[in-house]
């Protein structure tokens, strides 16, 4: 009787080992096959245009965008055009990379910021096809489906450390279908659903030019659906930061009324905010800081300072105590709850 049980146990162990080995071989084969496919797609990637609905979830706050991404390989300088249309406030920002630099256009203000740097290839972007292909350079899990693949990985978004898991679905031809990013509590943080994917499109000669894009965008301006300019000052009540409001004041600098909030504590900071002005003629301002994206919008990061413009208001957040991700959290909290 004892021998029979021993034989059964040995048989069971062998079956488990064989099944496990079979699964391992299948996964290895799938990974090897898709890596070869990724390499081929990467080598032949000359241009694409993609459109998607993108959602950012931050607690009870939801931001929804229509994002349009265009890419063209042009010698040593890749050309990009990214349009981020905020459905909540009915306004658009456009980011362009061409041979002259990186530009952030705000058509509602007729304002342009010019940056230096390697945007957007300097870090992962949930809507960027290059970022999706980069997933295959690291560790990932691959699930083969009838209509494509689901790829699970650990995301690498340096200013969003709470994003801990990413899933993306692609067709068998590696066309993106959706990207989902989850936070540490496994709640959805970002959802990108692609509605149009086109490889090797043809772009007009002026497609990546700043002035032409501004002219076109301003001709299509729509009225903002919401505004916070009458609610100043706004307070970062949605940010979890160890600081309390010590002082607030209002000063006049020329024609600009600035509201100053000073917070003290372990993570002290100061917020200066004012209403943005629009220009009759396009104004281009060169900035030395780093361009960072904040939940579908754009910020400028300098040493101990984050400049963030949203919904008609400019925020300057200063701190020598906070990390970049904490500065981003403050920026996102500013427009969520207005304190009276």
Q: Are 84 and 296 in contact (CB under 8 A)?
A: yes
d(CA 209, CA 330): 33
Per-residue pLDDT at 15:
59
Which residues on adjacent β-strands are paired with residue 179?
Answer: 168, 192
Q: What is the pLDDT of residues 80-105, one digit of tens each?
A: 999 999 999 999 999 999 999 999 99
Helices (H), 44-81: none
Q: What is the pLDDT of residues 256-292, one digit of tens each?
A: 999 999 999 999 999 999 999 999 999 999 998 999 9
Per-residue pLDDT at 2:
53
User: Which candidate, 319, 107, 76, 71, places its Cα nearest to that of 208?
Assistant: 71
d(CA 158, CA 115): 19
**Sign of the C-alpha dihedral computed for residues 292, 295, 296 and 297 taken in this order:** negative
Per-residue pLDDT of the chain (340 residues; tens, 9 = 90+): 555 556 666 666 565 455 455 444 444 445 568 999 999 999 999 999 999 999 999 888 899 999 999 999 998 889 999 999 999 999 999 999 999 999 999 999 999 999 988 999 999 999 999 999 999 999 999 999 999 999 999 999 988 999 999 999 999 999 999 999 999 999 999 999 999 999 999 999 999 999 999 999 999 998 877 666 678 999 998 888 999 999 999 999 999 999 999 999 999 999 999 999 999 999 999 998 999 999 989 999 988 899 999 988 999 999 999 999 999 999 998 864 544 4
The two tokens of residue 35 are 């890596």
pTM listed for this prediction: 0.87
Bin 158: left if φ > 0, else alpha if -120 < ψ < 50, else beta: alpha
d(CA 339, CA 171): 47
Q: Are 169 and 143 in contact (CB under 8 A)?
A: no
Per-residue pLDDT at 3:
56
User: Which candidate, 315, 285, 283, 289, places its Cα nearest to that of 119?
Assistant: 289
Q: Burial level of 144, CB count in 10 A (0-12/13-18/19+)?
A: middle
Q: What is the pLDDT of residues 190-202, one digit of tens each?
A: 999 999 999 999 9
SS3 231: coil
Distances (CA, A) of 146 to 87, 149, 194, 301: 34, 8, 19, 44
Per-residue pLDDT at 60:
82
Cβ neighbours around 63 below 10 Å, total: 19
Inter-residue long-range contacts of 183-187, CB under 8 Å, 24+ positions, other chains counted: 187/57
The two tokens of residue 268 are 């002290």
Residue 34: enclosing H or E segment and its boundaries? helix 2-43
111-115 vs 283-286, strand pairing mode: parallel
Per-residue pLDDT at 211:
97
Per-residue pLDDT at 11:
61
* φ, ψ for residue 296, nearest 5 deg: 90, 0
The two tokens of residue 299 are 């910020």
**Sign of the C-alpha dihedral computed for residues 189, 244, 266 and 335 taken in this order:** positive
What single DSSP character describes residue 232?
Answer: P
Q: What is the dihedral of CA 118, 122, 125, 128, to 10 degrees?
A: 50
The two tokens of residue 231 are 């609610």
* φ, ψ for residue 122, nearest 5 deg: -85, 0
Per-residue pLDDT at 212:
98
How many alpha carbons fall within 13 Å on the CB side of residue 143?
Answer: 8
Q: Burial level of 107, CB count in 10 A (0-12/13-18/19+)?
A: buried
**Rounded to 5 degrees, what angle do the CA atoms 32, 36, 38 make?**
115
d(CA 226, CA 158): 31
């Amino acid at each position: 009787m004892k021998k029979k049980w021993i034989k059964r146990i040995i048989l069971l162990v062998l079956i488990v080992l064989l099944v496990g080995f079979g699964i391992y071989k299948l996964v290895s084969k799938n990974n090897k096959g898709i890596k070869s496919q990724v390499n081929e797609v990467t080598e032949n990637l000359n241009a694409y245009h993609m459109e998607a609905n993108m959602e950012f979830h931050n607690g009870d706050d939801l931001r929804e965008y229509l994002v349009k991404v265009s890419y063209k390989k042009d010698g040593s300088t890749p050309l990009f055009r990214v349009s981020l249309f905020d459905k909540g406030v009915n306004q658009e920002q456009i980011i362009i990379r061409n041979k002259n630099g990186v530009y952030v256009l705000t058509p509602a203000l007729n304002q342009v910021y010019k940056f230096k740097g390697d945007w957007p290839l300097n870090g992962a972007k949930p809507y960027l096809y290059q970022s999706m292909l980069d997933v295959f350079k690291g560790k990932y899990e691959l699930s083969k489906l009838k209509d494509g693949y689901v790829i699970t990985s650990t995301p690498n978004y340096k200013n969003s450390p709470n994003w801990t898991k990413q899933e993306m679905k692609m067709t068998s031809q590696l066309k993106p279908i959706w990207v989902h990013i989850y936070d540490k509590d496994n709640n959805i943080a970002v959802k990108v659903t692609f509605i149009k994917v086109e490889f090797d499109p043809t772009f007009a000669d002026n497609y990546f030019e700043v002035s032409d894009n501004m002219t076109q965008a301003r001709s299509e301006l729509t009225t903002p659906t919401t505004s916070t300019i009458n609610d100043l000052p706004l307070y970062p009540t949605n940010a979890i930061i160890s600081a309390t409001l010590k002082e607030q004041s209002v000063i006049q600098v020329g024609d600009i009324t600035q509201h100053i909030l000073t917070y003290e504590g372990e993570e002290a900071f100061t917020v200066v905010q004012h209403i943005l002005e629009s220009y009759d003629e396009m104004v281009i301002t060169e900035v030395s800081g780093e361009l960072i994206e904040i939940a579908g919008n754009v910020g400028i990061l300098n040493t101990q300072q984050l400049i963030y413009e949203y919904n008609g208001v400019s925020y300057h957040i200063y701190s020598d105590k906070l990390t970049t991700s904490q500065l981003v959290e403050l920026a996102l909290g500013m427009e969520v709850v207005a304190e009276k």
